[in-house]
Chain A
Amino acid sequence: MTALAPVAPVPESAPAASRRRDRPRLWRGVVLALAALYFLVPLAASFWYTVHNQSTGLSLSPYAELWTAEGFLTSLLLSLVLALATIVLVLLLTLPAMITVRLAAPRLRPVMEVICTLPLVVPPITLVAGVSRSLQVGGDVLAPTPFWGTLIAIQNQDFPLVLVFVYVVLVLPFVYRSLDAGLRTMDVRTLVEAARNLGASWPHVMFRVIVPNLRSALASASFLTLALVLGEYTVASILGYQPFAVWIVTISGSKGQLSVAASVLSLLLTWLLLLTISGGSRDRSA
């Protein structure tokens, strides 16, 4: 930051007001222009890459071709189903745990915090290394027991539950933080005690009292999970499944234009999802 000062020397005699206005204008313009160039050129170039073709000229056909391309819909569907399952599972696990800790066992809170931060320390590639080894060893150890069937079932190609488990671990820190921020804004204990005193059952307390108050935190946790799972490549590719991101890489060898078109689509999707989150969080702060 110290380098900012000499960028635009200002005459000493300039009045204070105009000095404040003039000095930043130059460096700020340069910084913003460079940033715009760096961030927009790849977007524009990629779009041009998908619509322009030496032989046929301009056409939007790659985007139409996507929908009929082999594996596009299956892989996109798989990604969406995995994302939904991950959201449901991670919320079912974290929400009761966090509320219990707040109400009944505040001493467990540091433990929860550590557990939910740990996955940040483990890069996805190392987690999946451990998972694939566990599946290997598990297969050998569990073969004579009834659990073997379970182990095979979670690796089902059509709906690999094992991916959902790994994704839940990976999104845990983000979901935890989001819900924690949401729970901070309300007085959980008072709300629950008031509801219980008035005769509400526990499920009623959960779904009619807590959840509505947490709506924006839950929404942002869900959308973030959705965005992360839709773009996830590392875990799925190493374990040998083909959700959307893996499919993009698979077709890139034979159909470069299609894979870039799919990337553009996926950016638009991410953009939409995260815009929804930022809309939601603005509601919360208001």
Chain B
Amino acid sequence: MARVLGALPLLAFVALAFGIPAIAMVAGAFTVEGAPGLGNLALTTQGGYLLALGNSVKLSAVVAVLGAVLGTFLAQAVVTSRSRALREAVLTASGVLANFGGVPLAFFWVATLGNAGVISGLFGLPSGTLFTFWGLVLVYLYFSVPLMVLVIAPALDGLRPQWREAAANNGATSWQYWRYVALPVLTPGLLGGVVLLFGSAFAAYATASAMGAGTVLPLVTLKIAAALSGDVQTGFENVGLALSLDMVLVAALVMAVYLPLQRRSTRWLQ
């Protein structure tokens, strides 16, 4: 027992700071007016809550797929470029922007394409352009594309030129090379990237909240916040906890796909 003494503080801390809230969340989700029940979870699969859950999944899925495709193109453009400076600059900027979500991102876009934004003023865009589904996609891509670049660049680097040459020597066209050689090698990395992007867009709250997206596009994170603060109706806190449980289930599913994929894709990086 003495041998694991050094690990005890961490284990105790996680049990306290993570375990207790987790238990409180699950217990709350299954408590209806003081008695155990499934009422809250049933509520989250109806009406406005289901709509919010659907919106979140749809938004995250669109952002994940678009972000993955655009990020891969950008990464390939940078990786195949012979300019070291360009490569360094794009990768560093990706590192910054991938971590740059949240409140400032929301205000950058509001200042750009919001109702009083600089670009919307320049082109006379109708008010509310930013506050739509696709407006939110545009905003979320700002941190998703850089994240994809970071995830996929090492995998693209791992595509050896010899493979392309070997394919060409055997008479393969460029299309055949991508279809039968490069894409299969990249698949775990690409899928892992999609899943990671989905997870990060799904969990995002600050950006949507600061933009005030709740009225045009209710998202599950915004619903949870509203239920917690008792904005809507008191007594709905437990529904917020049930929604949280739904989110954790989706996120757990995402991670269950991501972690094995990540392990597979690292095989090609050696």
Contact code string A1-27 (vs B, CB < 8 Å = 1, else 0): 110110000000000000000001001
Q: Is A191 located at the chain interface by the 8 A CB criterion?
A: no
Whether B73 pairs with A248 at a CB distance below 8 angstroms is: no
| Given known contacts A42-B112, A45-B111, A97-B9, A123 and B229 CB-to-CB distance under 8 angstroms | no
Also in contact, A1 and B4, with CB within 8 A (given A123-B248, A168-B17, A259-B107) = no
Given contacts A48-B118, A166-B17, A248-B104, contact A28 B77 (CB under 8 A): yes
Contacts of A121 in B (CB 8 A): 248, 251-252, 255
> Is there an interface contact between A2 and B183, defined as CB atoms closer than 8 Å?
yes
Contact with A along B5-22 (1 / 0, CB 8 A): 111011101101110111
Minimum CB distance partner of B224 in chain A: A125
Q: How many A-B residue pairs have CB under 8 A?
A: 255
Residue from A92, A120, A252 in contact with B210 in the complex, judged by beta carbons closer than 8 Å: A252
User: Quick check: is A126 within 8 A (CB to CB) of the other chain?
Assistant: yes
Report Cα–Cα, A158/B225, bound state, in Å.
23
In the complex, identify which listed stretch (A63-71, A193-201, A211-219, A269-277) lies at the interface while the others stay far away.
A269-277
Chain A, Cβ-Cβ closest to B20? A134
Q: Which of B55-99 contact A (CB under 8 A)?
A: 70, 72-74, 76-78, 80-81, 86, 90, 92-93, 95-97, 99
Assuming the contacts A42-B112, A121-B255, A233-B206, asked whether A238 and B73 have C-beta atoms less than 8 A apart, the reply is no
Residue A127, interface by CB 8 Å: yes
Bound form: Cα–Cα A270–B100 in Å: 8
CB distance from A158 to the nearest CB of B (A): 21
Q: A231-B104, A256-B111 are in contact. List 14 more A-B contacts (CB 8 A).
A: A35-B77, A35-B145, A39-B142, A43-B108, A48-B118, A127-B18, A129-B25, A129-B224, A233-B206, A233-B209, A248-B103, A263-B107, A266-B104, A267-B108
